[in-house]
Structure 1
Amino acid sequence: MIGNERHSLPGVIGGDLIRHGKIPVLVFIAVLVSALMVVTTAHKTRLLTAQREQLVLERDALDIEWRNLILEENALGDHSRVERIATEKIQMQHVDPSQENIVVHN
């Protein structure tokens, strides 16, 4: 005799999965988790790559500034060296341009 019971399709599918399909359900969940982790890792990698590029640009700008400061230091160092040699070896003195009296040594 055939019963007139009504079963809902989602209930039948769920019951079959619980009874006979535990491994496929676990594999499906594992695939979903793995896919989400891949997407998250790719996103973080892109963010870190962009941050690294920004840091490289900043490093390059600082390197250029450092080179310019070294050049400036060398230029100023050369001037002070010339001034020191002039005062020590040939006894030159600074002249104040605002002074009206000029002293001439014979």
Structure 2
Amino acid sequence: MINNERHSLPAVIGGDLLRHGKLPIILLIAVLVTSIMVVITTQKTRLITAQREQMVLEKDSLDIEWRNLILEENALGDHSRVERLAVEKLHMQHVDPSQEHIVVQP
């Protein structure tokens, strides 16, 4: 009783894996899916970190611009100080626009 049947090696390995190796195949698939998810998550994390850094730089730039605008507003908005200095140091007077004649002092 000699069996002269020839089987291909890949078919024998595949049959053995399906009969006796279901757990290792499931674990292999789980490891591959997990590793792909780790790579995808790492890439997304790097992109989000780069976006965050860009936004922090933009925020810093806007903060500096805001501070400069506040300083400019404070410098230009102090009319009472300018008027007081004009009256005290330069002896200037407020002119009423309704007057039609100009008074020139000698």
TM-score, reference length from structure 1: 0.80
- The CA deviation at 1:6 is 1.1
Trace 1:68-79 onto structure 2 (pairs within 5 A): 68-78=68-78
Identity across the alignment (%):
64
RMSD: 2.4
The reply on whether 1:93 has 2:78 as its aligned counterpart is: no
Trace 1:1-106 onto structure 2 (pairs within 5 A): 1-78=1-78, 80-85=79-84, 92-93=93-94, 103-104=104-105
- The CA deviation at 1:82 is 2.4
Aligned partner of residue 7 in structure 1, secondary structure: coil
Structure 1: gaps spanning 5 or more residues:
95-100
- The CA deviation at 1:86 is 6.9
Distance, in Å, in 1 between the alignment partners of 2:50 and 2:37 is 20
- The CA deviation at 1:34 is 0.3
TM-score, reference length from structure 2: 0.80
- The CA deviation at 1:77 is 1.5
Q: Deviations over 1:15-70 (max 9, x none)?
A: 00110111110000000000000000000000000000000000000000000000
- The CA deviation at 1:103 is 1.4
- The CA deviation at 1:83 is 4.2
Structure 2: gaps spanning 5 or more residues:
96-101
The runs of at least 4 consecutive aligned structure 1 residues that moved more than 6 Å come to none
Which residue identity lines up with residue 81 of structure 1 in the other structure? Answer: S
